[in-house]
A and B are shown apart, each in its own frame.
Chain A
Amino acid sequence: MGNYPGSLGWGSPETGWCSVKFPFSVAVAIGIGLITLAGYFLNIPVLQTLRMALIEWATTLAAVALLVGIANLFTIHWNKLTSGKVGGLYSAILIVSLVLTLGVVGWFGPTHTYSKWIFNNVQLPVEGSLLALLAIILVVAGVRLLRLRSNMLSIIFIITAMVILLATGPLFGISVPGLTELRSWIAQVPAMAGARGLLLGIGLGIVAAGLRVLIGSDRPYRG
């Protein structure tokens, strides 16, 4: 048993225990968080109606944030292009593609043939090629793993991945006895048990992170 690197408190290390300022944005966040949480657990019609309305507002705000995000993306690449930094050509391609796509989808609508053409002939092939690249990266990473961390867990990881791959893909008509059963056992017993353990840990982490935001200890929105 060791010690945490210091005594605990409510706010950030700079503010310390109980020296917390609660600006208006924090009050709004806590109030809305409590109403949404109460509407989830308590079967009170007013609370549930409020909760649904607040979630709809959040969805609308997220859509507006998307426009801000696109403006951010455009500005970053415009700056890169005009400042003559490395990769300016790629930024030019991104800006031209962005403007053309916005123009076509905005003018003709997202379901028009031209819009679908852009999606099917530009976006899908580009993302498909990245997926293919990812497959190669993962194979290389698997080999490199044994160099990076040559321990028992890494060996089990590699062997399990190989067994699953061999049992999932076609083996040119060759049938290895017991391989399919081994794959099923791995997927249903150790993998499932491990996944449930990880999910329990993740679930506890989500509750902790959510509650920190709800009580105003974590303020990602500042204010």
Chain B
Amino acid sequence: MNFPELMGLAFVGLFLGLMLGSAFYYRNRPAPFVRQIPAFGRVRRAIGLAVEAGSRLHLSLGRGNLISTRSAVAFVGLSILDRIARSAAASDRPPVATSGESTLAILSQDTLHDASKFMGADYDPLRGQLTGLTPFSYAAGAASLIHDEATGASLLLGSFGSEVALITEAGDRTESLTLAGTDNLTGQAVLYATAQEPLIGEETYAGGAYMGAGGMHQASLIAQDIFRWVIILALLVGAVLKLVGVL
């Protein structure tokens, strides 16, 4: 094993250890909280209002291929889908999920099915939809669903490119709240300009912790925060060492 592989393995091991340690240590006590993300508070309120008003909630999972790193953000989206499907299970119009990748569509159906079963509600497999297989056909299909169903709130959590503007525009036209986060830098720039509640960088991956998707989401957020400060410190030390000529 060479040095970079060893470092990679050590990094993953430390991260996992920190996650499990945090989950164990804080299992019966309040965990430290680093900062508030107001967007998630507004989304929780919007979900409550949508359930009361009987309007549809929509969650889009993007086009992340399951066998690439682009699927990680969709996993966060699926955790949040599970939470909102349970919260809105009693609604006349339960949540729908759209995606631009067939494996994600199947996983969204599975998540909705599981949540419906848990809450004892009816399940319709067509609530997990594949709206298109190319970026623009997917966005056009999701935009059409937002318009036709007059959704109360749309959560876009997945891998999106610039085509996501078509979806946020549909949300804007139906005057529904749009919270959106992606792992794609182009998509993030577009979302900053078009979404009502854009999530920047790692905020997208913190979604599960803020939406109450389980203790391990919060534990992994603690690990992410600690590692972010470690990386910042390492960068600063590296820059100083480079400046003084040691590196």
Contact = CB atoms under 8 A, between A and B. Distances in A.
A179 interface: no
Nearest to A4: B31
A142 B189 CA distance: 11
A127 B29 contact: no
Contacts of A76: 126, 129
A31 B109 CA distance: 24
Nearest to A200: B231
The dominant DSSP class at the A interface is helix
B205 A7 contact: no
A99 interface: no
Interface stretch (A108-116, A165-173, A181-189, A210-218): A210-218
A112 B237 CA distance: 59
A204 B107 contact: no
A218 B207 CA distance: 13
B5 A220 contact: no
A201 B202 contact: yes
Nearest to A91: B144
A22 interface: no
B30 A4 contact: yes
A101 to B, nearest CB: 11
B8 interface: yes
Contacts of B202: 201-202, 204-205
Interface residues of B, number: 98
A87 B149 CA distance: 11
A35 interface: no
B146 to A, nearest CB: 12
B28 to A, nearest CB: 5
A5 interface: yes
B218 A134 contact: no
A22 to B, nearest CB: 14
A90 B11 CA distance: 51
A35 to B, nearest CB: 14
Given A11-B214, A141-B194, A148-B196, A68 B102 contact: yes
A49 interface: no
Given A9-B27, A87-B144, A3 B33 contact: yes
B23 A72 contact: no
B194 A211 contact: no
Contacts of A14: 86, 118
Nearest to A75: B126
Contacts of B114: 222
Most chain B beta-carbon neighbours within 10 Å: one of A3, A58, A199, A217: A217
Interface residues of A, number: 76
Contacts of A123: 134
A133 interface: yes
A206 B227 CA distance: 13
Nearest to B144: A87
A130 B144 CA distance: 13
Interface core residue of A85, A145, A218 (most chain B CB under 10 Å): A218
A59 B67 CA distance: 7
B232 to A, nearest CB: 9
Contacts of A127: 134, 136-137
Interface string B200-230: 1110111011001111111111011001100
28 contacts: A3-B30, A10-B216, A12-B82, A13-B212, A65-B102, A66-B102, A68-B102, A69-B133, A131-B136, A138-B193, A145-B192, A198-B200, A200-B231, A201-B201, A201-B202, A205-B204, A205-B205, A206-B73, A206-B183, A208-B205, A209-B72, A209-B220, A211-B16, A212-B217, A217-B216, A218-B79, A221-B107, A222-B114
Interface of B: 1, 5, 8-9, 11-12, 15-16, 19-20, 22-23, 26-34, 36, 65-67, 69, 72-73, 75-76, 78-79, 82, 86, 101-103, 105-107, 109-111, 113-114, 118, 125-126, 128-134, 136-137, 139-140, 144, 148, 162-163, 165-166, 168-169, 183, 185, 188, 190, 192-194, 196, 200-202, 204-206, 208-209, 212-221, 223-224, 227-228, 231
Given A69-B102, A222-B114, 19 more contacts: A3-B31, A5-B212, A8-B27, A8-B215, A8-B219, A9-B215, A13-B212, A17-B28, A43-B1, A69-B103, A73-B132, A90-B144, A134-B163, A141-B193, A205-B73, A205-B76, A205-B201, A218-B75, A220-B107
